[in-house]
Amino acid sequence: MKRVAIAVAVLLLAGCSSPSEKVAGQVVSCESILSSTTENSLVLNCLDGGAGASIDSIKGPAIINVWGSWCGPCEEEMPILRSFYEKAQGKVLLIGVDVEEASIEDGREFVENNGITWPNLFDADGKSRAYFGMGVPVTWFIAPDGSVAYKHIGVLKNEIELISLTSKHLGVKL
């Protein structure tokens, strides 16, 4: 009987532990980000090294998540964004913006190590700070007309929160 109780306790404890398996990400092209460019556009390059997009002309429904590889809270919310992205593809465009990196390689490594498979722009020189403000993580909800419908400052707590914010501010049901 004692052995059974120990076995049950071990199984329960193992079930409560967080999975140590990493999900592989991939640095992808930013071709899916449709934007136009004007004389005063804030254009960021793509983390893959290719053509980027004009941040201030992105049309929604879209979610822009601003992050940095050096930001612990940014890493905490990546599993939430990954799960959300699986459900939202084709309904909401998810775009990452990597800011304040020591090198572009740090951002690429973060993408690969955190299971990110959506397009990410790269702000090499901090010019997006005037648009996004200081601090990460921050998540912007962009309406179909390109206006900012909502700005969530700080870590997303869970996927339900992200789905609720998407429904409330972008009118997209997942």
State the DSSP code for 89: T
Cα–Cα distances in angstroms (integers) from residue 78 to residues 13, 84, 107, 125, in the given order: 25, 10, 13, 24
User: Does residue 4 carry a pLDDT above 70?
Assistant: no
Local confidence band at 2 (pLDDT 50, 70, 90 cut-offs): low
As a whole number of angstroms, the distance between CA 86 and CA 63 comes to 14
Residues 6+ apart with CB under 8 A from 72: none
**Residue 8, helix vs strand vs coil:** helix
Lowest mean pLDDT among 23-37, 56-70, 113-127: 23-37
In tens, the pLDDT along 85-108 reads 999 999 999 999 999 999 999 999
Residue 94 burial (CB < 10 Å; 0-12/13-18/19+)? buried
Domains annotated for the chain, with CATH where assigned, are 24-170 (3.40.30.10)
In tens, the pLDDT along 62-80 reads 999 999 999 999 999 999 9
